[in-house]
Structure 1
């Protein structure tokens, strides 16, 4: 009985904190890494605007996503390669960029799923799966960045070679000394984006 009471409190907290609807202002144009079949690179920028705060999440062209910030077992609940691909890409980017806290990134995922008509069960199941198990992906991303790996491909490296595996490609880029540069509306290193908090700022 106590477990159900605690779970109900957690769900209520998630619902009340993530009541902002998020709307995509551009559709994702992604290209598959044929060598692994699970990794994609954005071929154009993706802009996501949070209606409640009017703050925009700008995901630059060249961002590489494998949807792994949403655990594989949670992907059986939602369609990360279908209707829910945009929420998954946004979450992947927030987990890589790491200028918001992990909890803020997870709350934004919850809100984007709500906007994309995920039902009550889908929203809460995925939210709590990333809250409980998402730390592994978050920490792996932090270690990859420290090691010099990139996930935002510079323009001259976005033409993905045929049958190329992303893990091999990123190692090749590391050995060539290719670095990651934010562009367009992306936030500069060290800046905290205004979209992190779902509370209205005005």
Structure 2
């Protein structure tokens, strides 16, 4: 059964209100979908869920499952799995953290539709 083995512990990465966060402890997730334990290391910088701040989009999919968003950002940065698997892990990890099925479906559809442009991008810089 998929599960987080550690809790998400992070701090503001830049001392600005720019939405970038740095892990201060590793985040470890055991994924059935990826068939591996994913270790997001201390120091990894994330912007959490990259949801447009358009009110309806943010209301539907923003601010949920930061843990899943961090794992997804890490997989998109490191490419330890293919993109489809990374997106499936987002959906799986969101379920683990209690995100309702309808919201997981919206988040998954959004990353499948719009995530390609971020798949080959460089890691988030500080």
Same fold per superposition (TM over 0.5) = yes
Q: 2:113 & 2:89 partners in 1: Cα distance?
A: 16
8 Å contact kept, 2:34–2:81:
no
**Offset from partner CA, 1:33-85 (integer Å, 9 cap, x none):** 222430000011111112578731111100000125x44365432453xx511
Partner SS, residue 77 of structure 1: helix
Corresponding residue of 1:102 = 83
Higher share in strand: 2
8 Å contact kept, 1:78–1:84:
no
Q: 2:34 & 2:79 partners in 1: Cα distance?
A: 20
Are residues 1:77 and 2:60 paired? Answer: yes
Range with bigger deviation, 86-95 or 25-34:
25-34
> Which sections of structure 2, spanning at least 5 residues, go unmatched?
none
8 Å contact kept, 1:26–1:47:
yes
Map 1:48-59; keep pairs closer than 5 Å: 48-50=29-31, 55-59=36-40
Are residues 1:66 and 2:43 paired? Answer: no
Select the structure with the greater relative contact order (CA < 8 A; seq sep ≥ 6).
Answer: 1
Aligned residues: 122
